[in-house]
Every structure is written in C-alpha cells, then in structure tokens.
Structure 1
Amino acid sequence: MKLKLLVFAGLAELLGGSAIVVDVAADKLSPAQLKTYLIEQFPQAAPTLATSFIAVNQAYAEEHTLIGERDEVAIIPPVSGGEPQPGLATNPDMAEITLDPIAVEQVTAKVLHPNHGAAIAFIGTTRELTHGQRTTLLEYEAYTPMALKTMRQIIEEIGDLHPGTLCAITHRLGSVPVGEISVVIAVSSPHRDAAYDASRYAIERLKQIVPIWKKEIWEDGSEWKGHQLGPWDPTAANGGAQP
C-alpha cells in the first residue's frame, strides 16, 4: 500500500520534504513496523526516527494500532515543545494558534471570571542568550490540527485536576524575533494555589504532547530544538507533568 506521511521540523529536512509517500508491502502495519521500515529506507534520519512517535488521524498511535492506506499518518519528532494561514486564530476557543503577535490581555480576558480571585498569565518570549550563544530569531512550526487538539486536551485535564479553574492557551507560529512573545498561557481560579499549579502544569504538558517545534537561528547557524527534559513519551499518563 502507499502511505502519505506528514513530516515536520528537522525530520522534514532529513527526509527531503514535509510530505513523503512510501510504498510498503502490506495492507496494514503497526507503528513499530512503520518506524522500522522508515529507518531502513532513510538511515541518515535513523537517530531522529528512533525517538519519534507515529500519529494516526491526529492522535498518538498506541502499539496495537493498525495503520491503513486511508489513515492520516504523521511522524512526530520530539516536540519543543492543514497549512497555517493568516487569521488562523480559533477564537473564541480557549486553544488558539496564530501567525500574528500575541496580545497578552486578549488571552487573559478569556479566563477572567467574577467568582475567581486569582488570574495568572505565563508569557514565553524569545531569549537572546542561551548558554552564551546569541539567538537572533526563533522559527516555530506545528502540526496544526493535532496541536489544537492536544492544547484542548491540556485545558480539559486542568479542569479535571482543579475543578472550576479556567485555562486559555495561545501559541504563535512562524518567525518570532528576540523579545517577542511565542506563547501565552492564562489561568484563573477561585484561589491562587490552584492557579499557580495549573499554570506550571500547562506549560510542562504543552512541552510534552503538543506537536510544535522551534528552530533556533543564531548569528552563525541554526538548529531544530526538540524535547529536552529527558526521555520523551507523549503517550505516558500526563506526559510526566506534575499536577
């Protein structure tokens, strides 16, 4: 069967494009079988493929999943954390992806509630210096439909962990210069302890399961940055994030 595979970030550079077609001698195959096949076909990408996960129909595939020709299949390399178009924002949804600069007050306004006494906005910006290396620009890329789906999942998880707590997440794609905002996570709750806990949970969980990647561009080169918090397993319960 012929499978069209969506590929992202540095893995797309290694495989020669953001969408590739492979022809496998089977009617169905498991995620592990697909990864083995790809490693054999693309040995130059073997280290990245070995740590990647397979997504089927915009969900991380389990071991027993069988992949068929009609499935939407994506190869998800470690995260940094349809084609994006201007005005992609999903307002009034609490999960939003945009190509435009993010207004913190607009994201925060989504979670303000008369019965809540605490509201927090986490703001992620492009840092100029990292371990002595000067960054000039960050480039963000996403598997957009799945990114929105997993962002909504995080919002639901926070509601389960901290009943009554509200959360809104907005992430920017494309070029984000030094000092500009790449992500805003707004949280509100009746009490501050839950708001603090939910805010930390949201950013850690986002780094674990949301298929968004960043490319650090320096004065003398560039590199795609993936998950940097130890072994990456987005299928683990809560992705290792602490409530």
Structure 2
Amino acid sequence: MKLTIQLFAGIAERLNTSQLEFEYDGDTLTAAMLKEQLSQAYPEAATQIRSSFLAVNQRYAPADTLLKTDDELALIPPVSGGDGSTNQDEDHPYTQEHRTEDGLFLITNAPLSVEATTDMVITANHGAALTFVGTTREMTGEQRTVHLEYEAYVPMALSHMAAIGKEIAERWPGVLCAISHRIGKVDVAEISVVIAVSSPHRSDCYDASRYAIERLKQTVPIWKKEIWEDGSEWKGHQLGPWNPMDEKK
C-alpha cells in the first residue's frame, strides 16, 4: 500500500517537506497504525506526529479508521486559527483567494476587509450585527512579535469554517455567520481574522460570535507561526488538551 501524506506547520518544517510518500507492506492499516508507523520512521518528528490528528478526505479521522490507497491524507498538528471581498494591490500582486460557494467563508493572502465580511450577514430582517476582528499583537509579556505567518490546509479549512456556520444556524436559528481568514505574512496591528454574525436580536449575536472563534481555534486547520526578533515558533492550540472531534457544548 502506497500512501501520500500532506504535512503542515511544524511537522513540515521539521521534516523539510510538505508531502511524504509512505509504503506499508500489510493489508490493513488504520489511522492510529499509520501515525505510529510514521513516528517510528521519522523519530525527529515523533512527538509532533503523535500529537497530531490524521485527516482522511478532509475530515478528522477516528483512530480506528481504515485507510485506502486513494484516500487524501494529511497530518493535522494542533491548530491555532485566528488570534484575535479583498482587492489585489501593489503589496500583494499575486492574490490567492478561496471562498465557499455561498461566499460566506474566505481564506486569502491579501488584507481583509471588515466591511466586506460584515456586509455578507446584514439583512433587512436582522436587527443586530456583531463583528469580531483579530489582529497581530506586538508584545506578549516581554517578548516582541515582529510579524505572524499563517498557513492553512485550504479545502479542509473552508469546509470546517462552513460547518461552524451550520452549527451556529442550528443552535441559534436565523443567525448568519461569515468568516474571513488571512494566510501568509500578517504584520503587527494587521487583521488576521474577521468573524461577522447577525441575528434578529443582539443576545444571540454575542453568543454566536464567541462560539465561532472558539470553534475556529478548535477545528479549523490553520496554523500560526510567531516571528520574533530572536527566533520563531509555531503556535498550536493553547486551550488545554486538543481534540477537534469533541462536540462543542
């Protein structure tokens, strides 16, 4: 069985590649078995591999998931999505923009527009709208951040952003949600994420907005690398043990 595994963030950096070709001699291979095989084959990245989840066909896979040779596989290290319509300009001559079909969810390497994201959820029958804007913070304690670099598993990230919108609509009927996220270099005080929600009444806006950013950090495969004056580090999930398959209560 010959498999291709996509790598991201710290694992890709440690192994100096964004893709692994891996051959397995047995007939049956589960997600847990593959992670252990990779950990043994690449001991320099074993800790990161074991703390990651395997995505199969852009979905987080339980440990007992059986793998096939034609599966789209990716190792997803702990995510860190978002701390806190875009036009091409002279600073971003090669804009990469990816949207869901309904236009509500966007990943781009160009600067984000708060107004454009908010406009996606404004409707005549909603009396409240709330927009959360996450920006790059310069100082964390005594440490100075020079800029951030974001990376995403784009197709899976978009599908999970859309899933957040569906979850919100189920929990708060009638609430609309749009999310725009930046990838690539994001300088200090620049916007990395915009989350806009609207509803008939303001209380649902507050609850849905908080829910959206927490789910973004939990499930969406977007990673953040902090660049400092004297080094750098990939920042993953920092809200306790990470399990993207946990249901949000």
TM-score for both structures, normalised by structure 2 = 0.92
Q: Post-superposition shift, 1:64?
A: 2.9
Superposed CA RMSD: 1.2
Shift of 1:87: 3.9
Whether 2:98 is the aligned partner of 1:89: answer yes
* One-letter code aligned to 1:138: L
> What is the CA distance between 1:22 and its match in structure 2?
1.0
1:86 shift after superposition: 2.3
For the pair 1:233 / 2:243, whether they are aligned, the reply is yes
Q: Deviation of residue 16 (structure 1)?
A: 2.3
- Does residue 1:189 correspond to 2:199, yes or no? yes
Structure 2 unaligned residues grouped into runs of 5+:
82-93
Q: Are the equivalent residues in 1 in contact too, given 2:39–2:49 (CA < 8 A)? A: yes
C-alpha deviation, 1:193, in angstroms: 0.7
Does 1:43 pair with 2:43?
Answer: yes
Shift of 1:226: 0.4
Aligned AA (1:175)? K
TM superposition shift of 1:229: 0.4
The Cα of 1:33 is off from its aligned counterpart by 0.2
Amino acid at match of 2:152: A
2:122 counterpart letter in structure 1: L
Equivalent pairs, count: 236
**Aligned counterparts, 1:78-227, within 5 A:** 78-81=78-81, 86-90=95-99, 92-227=102-237
Q: Distance in 2 between matches of 1:105 and 1:180?
A: 15
Deviations 1:6-49, CA, capped at 9 Å, x for gaps: 00001101222111111111233111100110111111112111
Report the Cα distance in structure 2 between the residues aligned to 1:5 and 1:55, rounded to whole angstroms.
Answer: 9
Q: Distance in 2 between matches of 1:22 and 1:89?
A: 29
Task: Give the Cα–Cα distance (whole angstroms) in 2 for the partners of residues 49 and 130 of structure 1.
Answer: 28
Task: Give the aligned residue type for 1:224.
Answer: W
Point out the more displaced range, 3-12 or 26-35: 26-35
Which residue identity does 1:71 align to in structure 2? D
CA–CA separation in structure 2 for the residues paired with 1:53 and 1:93: 28
Do the aligned partners of 1:27 and 1:69 also contact (CA within 8 Å) in 2? no
Sequence identity (%): 57
Aligned partner of 1:60 in structure 2 is 60
Distance 2:64 2:37 in 1: 17
Whole-angstrom CA distance in 2 between matches of 1:20 and 1:63: 20
- Matched residue, 1:13: 13
Q: How far, CA to CA, are the matches of 1:186 and 1:27 in structure 2?
A: 47
Greater CA drift, 57-66 or 224-233: 57-66
User: How far 1:89 sits from its partner (Å)?
Assistant: 3.4
| Cα shift at 1:117 | 1.2
What stretches of structure 1 of length at least 5 have no aligned partner?
A: none
TM-score by length of 1: 0.94
Q: Is the 8 A contact 1:107 1:168 kept in 2?
A: yes
